[in-house]
Amino acid sequence: MSALFDLVMLALLLGMALAVARTRDLLAAAILFSGYSLVMCLLWLHRGAPDVAMTEAAVGAGVTTILFLLAIGRTGRRER
């Protein structure tokens, strides 16, 4: 069961990383990156590293996403 969870999480991580790299909508990329960080948080928690998971949730999904959204708000949503 543990191996299946790992495979599903890794497939989600790969899919989100590819989607972030391919999208031209910066808001969508920021939201996908936040989802990537949350899945990474779940993976760290499942692997037995709750301290790393909490740091990933706070910094990766929290602070970084807020900074991305503020930067997009000050510039533009679409890439040229």
Please report, for residues 2, 5, 17, 24, 58, the alpha-carbon distance to residue 63 in angstroms, rounded to integers and kept in the order given.
Answer: 30, 27, 19, 22, 6
| pLDDT of res. 54 | 94
Walk along the chain (80 residues) and give the pLDDT tens digit of each residue.
788 998 999 999 999 999 999 998 999 999 999 999 999 999 999 999 999 999 999 998 889 999 999 999 898 777 66
Please report, for residues 26, 34, 54, 64, 73, the alpha-carbon distance to residue 78 in angstroms, rounded to integers and kept in the order given.
Answer: 6, 18, 31, 19, 11
| pLDDT of res. 70 | 93
